[in-house]
Amino acid sequence: MKTLVTVLIVIAFVIVNINPVFSQGHLIVQQEDDKLSEFEEAEAELDEELKWVRAEAETVVVGVSKYEQRLMDVPATVSVLDMSDISAQTKTNIPELLRTVPGVTVYRNHGDSPWYRVSMRGLNDNFFSAATLITIDGTPFFQPHGGGVDLSWLPMANIERAEVIKGTFSTLYGANAFGGVINIVTKKGKQKNESGQGSNTNMAIQVSACENIDESSDKSIAVTGMTSHSGQTGAVSYHLSAEMLSDEGYRQNWQVTPIFLGPQSRTGLFSDELDQERAQFSWHMDMPAGLSFSGFYTRDKKDILGMNDDLDDRILHTVLSLASSPTERYDYLLRLYHNRFEEVQDATETFRFPGDTTSQPFFYDLLSFTTGGEFQNRFRYSDALKLVFGADFRADTSELQVSYRSGEEVRSFGYPRKHIQDYGAYFQAEYVWQNKFSVIPGIRYDYDSESGCFVSGKLAALYHIHNDHSLYGVAGRGFRSPNFNERFVKVFGKSGSDDLKPEKTWQFELGSKNRFFQDRIHWDICAFYTFTKDYIDTNLEKVYTNTQGLTIWGAETDWSWKMSSTVRTFATFSVIIGKDEETDKDIARVPSHQWTTGLSYDDQQRWAANLTVRGVSHNILGDPAKNYIRAESYQVADISLSRRVAVGESLFTVTLFADNLFDEQYVEAWPGAVSTEGGHSKGLNAGLRMFVTF
């Protein structure tokens, strides 16, 4: 690995320095400082400082109330991941970026179903991220079978920013906004300027290598490519992107213990590396009269469990929307969307027991899709009163077919095609008194064809002590409907239940937002309490069932200091304490605390660097005697160095990076359906990224 890192450094040095066109005369900012007087130079630096301050102060989010709000005016805990500039972004998916957000836990499934899971504030999920709603420009995006999605399915090149909104938001979004919402804001088309110019094209390639989990001398290579283009044709502006990933082994199925294969397979079966290939295409088009059409398609193939046939995921997301503002005070949004998820694995010819030369049939086919719509209205009654109200519907469909042979017996199970409909209506108001105090009440009514009716409510208040200091409090009630997997599945010894009740949660939060020294220092802190009733226990061996409930307390803090226009330091910390009301034991799979700290440098011209150190401390998971479902505490660091170079009209960015320093390997995953061992991280990972804009 040291040799690899040395080679990458030499390559980057040669790229940046060998060609005379990379001289200072061709840098982004030409050397014109000698033409400026000392006063003019100081004035320019001051303008740059003020530009940054204004930009930070005007950061807005739209996912909290379905209209734009300054972060300081939002009575909720919100973290914003700015991804508008991906030139030096070495993470290849959103879950890896979310690891630095306080109160957010990211795991990677192991064994048979290596998806990412994201949970907020201890409301963990045993399948996908059912307690966290993912929206794309406000449009729900989830898989009905598992109730959530793998966020790595979303194309990175198409994302402007990610709004991580914590707490229940069922009042606006319904059932799946149980523990929080992650709203993905996509990039839009680029408008032409007065000179008729405005198109923009980006291309990137990234190569990285990581050490194998068995500490052998072999290295696993991953290659990522991306291209995007935005522009305008006539009255239509657009943004298009395409991405690909080829990874020959980011982790191994280490000592997998398949449950359904019997006791003869309990030791070290299927230790092959987990290969992955992924292709993605996304689009967004803004047309006249407020029409827009957007979406993406992802195909993700993984070689798992030693089977030569891939687990093949195919995901389609499309949205057609119409936005209009008939008056200055009233506007509406009408949208229709469709999500389709298909997962297939056909290993009927290649799956074999150890030492067995006969083929063992294994077939898995999951099809889920959602069709829905929303009519959203926003009305500004006065400068002090805003109203948001609307109605939505969603039709979910899913079916699962699984078959395999155990000895001489061929078993088939799953569930036939099932349908569930959901209809909802919501109303929320915001009243602001003297620009100091705001109160936001909201209510929503939902009807689920399987679970019946449910009413969600919220009351939030925010008080501005000063322009740079505010206090807020939130009380909310939300719910999560059982997904198809929990209701209907009959697979791997587990059975769904038609009698499941929706999970219900009451959440309370108090927080403070503070800005110091002309907005250079940001310090947000909050404490929260959550009680969940009728929690659906997915860990029982036989059947999904409702338990008495869960109680969770916690606190978070997020601090950052803009030391200058080029240097920024930051730190986050979160602590969670959770109890199962029925057993009075700690909740499994919930980290007791997480922390992140780091330092970044960016002169906006030539150089950028970033160092992030993060740590996680877990509670004991599962049964240590059986070596079952565990996740270790760990401390790791990520580091990167970028160099920008201008060549004519093009801008090149070369980045060297290394991830997972310090602890090169750690266990972080709980198992999938057919393995009882946790999965290791990918270990020390280093690479080179080249990005060009023209």
For the segment 33-53, what is each residue's pLDDT rounded down to a tens digit? 444 344 455 445 545 444 444
Parallel, antiparallel or unpaired: strands 490-491 and 494-495: antiparallel
| Residue 689 confidence (pLDDT) | 86
The residue extents of the domains of the chain are 2-693
CATH, range 2-693 = 2.40.170.20
Q: SS in 3 state form for 564-605? A: CCCEEEEEEEEEEEEEECCCCCECCCCEEEEEEEEEEEECCC
Q: Tokens 């999938």 identify what position?
A: 672
Task: Write out residues in the chain with pLDDT < 70, as ranges.
Answer: 1-58, 109-114, 124-128, 190-199, 211-219, 249-274, 304-310, 347-361, 405-410, 491-494, 538-542, 582-591, 618-632, 663-683
| Residue 24 confidence (pLDDT) | 40
- Is residue 519 within 8 A of residue 110, CB to CB? The reply is no
Tokens representing 631? 């996740």
| Residue 622 confidence (pLDDT) | 47
Element housing 336 (H / E): strand 330-346
| Cα→Cα distances 195→199, 201, 250, Å | 12, 18, 47
* Separation of alpha carbons 223 and 175, rounded Å: 38
Tokens representing 156? 């990175």
Half-sphere exposure of 401 (CA within 13 A, CB side): 9
Would you call 134 helix, strand, or coil by DSSP? strand
* Separation of alpha carbons 597 and 396, rounded Å: 42
| Cα→Cα distances 544→46, 49, 102, 416, 417, Å | 61, 56, 30, 18, 20
Would you call 44 helix, strand, or coil by DSSP? helix
| Residue 547 confidence (pLDDT) | 79
Please give the single-letter amino acid code of residue 624: P
Phi, psi of 275 (to 5 degrees): -80, 155
Tokens representing 134? 């993912």
CA dihedral 28, 29, 30, 36 (to 10 degrees): 170
* Separation of alpha carbons 622 and 105, rounded Å: 18
Handedness of CA 405, 484, 475, 429 (dihedral sign): positive
Q: Tokens 């039709």 identify what position?
A: 395
Q: Judging by beta carbons within 10 Å of its beta carbon (0-12, 13-18, 19+), is residue 414 exposed, middle or buried?
A: middle
Nearest Cα to 556, choosing from 538, 532, 530? Answer: 530
| Residue 266 confidence (pLDDT) | 33
